[in-house]
């Protein structure tokens, strides 16, 4: 099946908070796909294989989660229309330039154009030789202010660059490829899948889609991103977040230790479509960022906020998650969640067993979370991913920790009971009243200084279009556990509400309209014994809690 990747692509100019304009691909099909009478012989640049085994061993020797996951190597090159490739002069006066790269045993390829001077009407595409993956078309509108251009990664070890220039253009185009990237870590799962459900080191992480019915919006907000910098390609996790202005700013919250100055590429909805799935779509991307604020884990909570400058395709229907910056320790930890890309894998979902205030053990800037084997942990590559409280609001981002699916794998890890550190949003908010806007979240997530402690999430496509109550309220149930007959207590108004009950796989098992009061009786005795999440909605306000049925 041919995949035409109609992506948003923007280049980073590497300076702090610089301006970059959105660079969209404009659809279409390469000239050679439509004109099959042309010779398909294209000069190929052969790039020798990396010593992947040595690189992976080197990566494995760096213990912990407090650094970005390295996945590829970059090389400086100099290939242009004038010195490489094949130029065909077409009967109608146009011309066609092609060059191919074979990066032996590479798991993915990408390249940067240091010169991107093409006339109006000209088109650039990149594709795999089997035409399975195609990105473009890119036009003169894609040129950055500094004359460069950066497309996304493509799976596999082969890529073809094709430039078509029609007759009668204003000038002859110039293209120069100055850098290529060669993947050695199987970021796109093109090889045999490792682990139980993907290529993470551990096999205890459930696919995020298993919890989609209950956590769909929050799952949609979590992003995997790559960075090309200093001769290497890295990856981390993060989450799109809302702000009190509700103006659709494309803010991504992640970890400071992930930061690498260079070109950034964001992968949305890189996740399985079934609980047992082992792969996900890589077609939903955007490229480019502006750094807004960050600070390290020694002086702050190791946070980073960037704004994605490339236009995010509305068809992705991305969610901007809400947040809670209060200092309250998240309660009901098994009703909380961590959503992440361990080892660069497809999106996973982990349920904490305990969440503690790090202040009691010398980690005042962090929440401490640990896990149970059957409901996932975190890994390197999960760095920067969000921790959600029971109200589905972000309270922190992953900094470091010793948890793993199995003790000692990777070396130095302590199994699911190991503690992970999540930088507190409450600490990042003002960063001890730091005077610099570049070292705190408040100026960006509460730009009008409303003083809001919590904010609900919204879909990017419709942000600001509806009114909502910012606080998501908890409720209490007693007795709990119970046989299905229970008393519900909450800050309800008088009237009716919708009660939805989900099992721990995220399946909706009960949905009914109920009469509300500050305290009322509820009968759920048709449910089988187990743990459930109950959600009661009224007039735009949502109340949630965990219910244990025991008979």
* Distance in angstroms (rounded) separating the CA atoms of residues 234 and 68: 6
Q: Is 21 designated active site?
A: no
Asked whether the beta carbons of 533 and 499 are under 8 A apart, the reply is no
* Distance in angstroms (rounded) separating the CA atoms of residues 488 and 497: 13
Report how far apart, in Å, the C-alpha atoms of 226 and of each of 69, 102, 262, 452, 522 are: 9, 21, 10, 32, 48
| Residue of 189, 205, 257, 341 with catalytic role | 257
Q: Is 341 designated active site?
A: no
My answer on whether omega of the bond before 360 falls inside 30° of 0, hence cis, is no
Q: Is 88 designated active site?
A: no
Q: 154-155 and 222-229: which strand pairing?
A: unpaired
* Distance in angstroms (rounded) separating the CA atoms of residues 226 and 73: 12
Helix (H, G, I), strand (E, B) or coil at 452: coil
**Greatest Cα-to-Cα distance within the chain, rounded to the nearest angstrom:** 83
| Residue of 221, 254, 300, 383 with catalytic role | 383
| Residue of 186, 212, 302, 391 with catalytic role | 302
CA torsion sign for 151, 153, 155, 160 is: positive
CB-neighbour burial class of residue 310 (10 A; exposed 0-12, middle 13-18, buried 19+): buried
Backbone angles phi, psi at 154, to 5 degrees: -125, 140
- The total of other beta-carbon atoms located within 10 Å of residue 62's CB is 12
Asked whether the beta carbons of 482 and 497 are under 8 A apart, the reply is no
Best CA proximity match to 181, nearest among 127, 116, 106, 128:
106
> DSSP letter at 426?
H
Any idea which residues carry the catalytic annotation?
257, 302, 383
């Amino acid at each position: 099946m041919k995949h035409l990747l109609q992506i948003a692509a923007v280049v980073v100019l590497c300076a702090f908070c610089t301006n970059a304009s959105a660079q969209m691909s404009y659809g279409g099909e390469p000239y050679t796909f439509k004109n099959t009478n042309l010779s398909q012989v294209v000069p190929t640049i052969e790039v020798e294989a990396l010593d992947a085994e040595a690189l992976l061993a080197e990566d494995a020797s760096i213990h912990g989660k407090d650094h970005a996951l390295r996945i590829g190597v970059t090389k400086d090159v100099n290939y242009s229309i004038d010195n490489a490739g094949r130029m065909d002069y077409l009967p109608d006066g146009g011309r066609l330039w092609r060059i191919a790269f074979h990066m032996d045993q590479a798991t993915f390829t990408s390249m940067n154009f240091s010169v991107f001077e093409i006339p109006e009407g000209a088109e650039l595409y990149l594709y795999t030789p089997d035409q399975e993956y195609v990105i473009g078309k890119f036009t003169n509108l894609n040129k950055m202010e500094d004359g460069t251009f950066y497309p996304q990664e493509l799976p596999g070890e082969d890529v073809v660059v094709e430039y078509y220039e029609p007759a009668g253009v204003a000038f002859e185009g110039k293209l120069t490829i100055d850098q290529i990237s060669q993947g050695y870590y199987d970021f796109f799962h093109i090889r045999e899948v490792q682990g139980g459900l993907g290529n993470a080191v551990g096999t205890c992480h459930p696919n995020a889609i298993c919890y989609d019915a209950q956590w769909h919006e929050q799952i949609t907000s979590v992003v995997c991103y790559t960075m090309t910098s200093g001769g290497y390609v890295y990856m981390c996790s993060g989450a799109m977040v809302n702000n009190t202005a509700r103006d659709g700013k494309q803010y991504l919250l992640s970890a400071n230790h992930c930061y690498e100055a260079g070109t950034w590429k964001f992968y949305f909805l890189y996740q399985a479509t079934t609980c047992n799935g082992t792969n996900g779509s890589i077609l939903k991307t955007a490229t480019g960022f502006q750094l807004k604020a960050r600070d390290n884990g020694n002086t702050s909570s190791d946070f980073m906020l960037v704004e994605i400058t490339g236009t995010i395709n509305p068809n992705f229907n991305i969610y901007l998650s809400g947040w809670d910056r209060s200092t309250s320790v998240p309660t009901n930890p098994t009703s909380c969640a961590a959503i992440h890309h361990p080892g660069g894998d497809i999106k996973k979902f982990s349920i904490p067993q305990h969440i503690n205030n790090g202040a009691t053990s010398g980690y005042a800037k962090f929440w401490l979370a640990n896990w149970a084997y059957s409901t996932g942990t975190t890994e390197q590559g999960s760095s920067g991913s969000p921790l959600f409280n029971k109200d589905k609001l972000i309270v922190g981002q992953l900094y470091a920790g010793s948890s793993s699916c199995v003790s000692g794998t990777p070396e130095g890890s302590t199994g699911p009971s190991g503690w992970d550190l999540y930088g507190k949003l409450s600490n990042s908010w003002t960063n001890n009243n730091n005077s610099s806007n570049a070292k705190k979240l408040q100026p960006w997530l509460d730009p009008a200084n409303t003083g809001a402690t919590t904010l609900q999430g919204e879909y990017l496509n419709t942000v600001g279009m509806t009114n909502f109550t910012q606080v998501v309220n908890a409720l209490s149930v007693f007795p709990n556990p119970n046989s299905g007959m229970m008393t519900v207590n909450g800050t309800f108004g008088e009237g009716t509400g919708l009660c939805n009950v989900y099992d721990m796989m995220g399946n909706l098992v009960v949905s009914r309209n109920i009469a509300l009061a500050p305290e009322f009786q509820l009968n759920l005795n048709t449910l089988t014994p187990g743990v459930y999440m109950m959600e009661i909605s009224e007039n735009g306000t949502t109340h949630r809690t965990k219910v244990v049925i025991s008979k």
